[in-house]
Amino acid sequence: MSALTLYPADKPHQGHTFLDFAAIAEQLQGIGVQFERWQADCEFSQTDDADAVLKAYQSSIDKLKQEYGFQSVDVISLNADHPNKDALRQKFLAEHTHSDFEVRFFVEGKGLFYLHVGDQVYAVLCEQGDLISVPANTTHWFDMGENPAFKCIRLFTTEDGWVAEFTGNPIAESFPTLDQYVASL
């Protein structure tokens, strides 16, 4: 189940949660974040390679490429057995921005995006079938959980891919982790 919780930035335990997909998308649209659901164009299995995954969502990918000029697309996956999962998690947990969109479509699994906009923090739980497009220069962080299990399609307007500019703000440490957030729903 997708979810959105709006928190005052200085009160990480006093949020208002939305579970209705349309309400989540509407709230996020107000800050320029695209949130939608995709359906596969064809069948594929969890063991299929990246090319098969991209083919399954080709029409949705092509639509975004045409609309925003994305230049590169890839598939990233991470599971609990990954030897660098802890280091990767820590890297994404630090508040940062990008000069490019951060676009993720969850083919499998889930992840928790936190968007820090003004005096609000938006916690967005994304699950299988969800696409989130965070505008360039939006301050945010991401938690994949202690035992990550996700596969995502990523789209970029540049060939450089994921390049972060870290803010140095420790705000992420005050908010629930993915595991805590899911347990509270």
Tell me the binding residues for Fe(2+): 96, 98, 102, 140
Span 120-149, average pLDDT: 96
Write out pLDDT tens, residues 34-61. 999 999 999 888 888 899 999 999 999 9
Angstrom distance (rounded) from CA 67 to CA 122: 25
Angstrom distance (rounded) from CA 54 to CA 75: 8
Tell me the binding residues: 96, 98, 102, 140
Amino acid at 27: Q
Look up tokens 């390049």; give the residue: 163
Span 62-87, average pLDDT: 91
Mean pLDDT comparison of 84-88, 91-95, 178-182, highest-scoring range: 178-182
Global confidence as pTM: 0.93
Mean pLDDT of the chain: 93
Residue 174 to residues 7, 86, 110, 157, 165: CA-CA distances in angstroms? 11, 19, 21, 32, 20
Maximal C-alpha separation, the chain:
45
Span 20-43, average pLDDT: 96
pLDDT surpasses 90 at 144: yes
Tell me the binding residues for Ni(2+): 96, 98, 102, 140
pLDDT surpasses 70 at 6: yes
Span 67-96, average pLDDT: 91
Angstrom distance (rounded) from CA 37 to CA 49: 22
Angstrom distance (rounded) from CA 159 to CA 165: 17
pLDDT surpasses 90 at 160: no
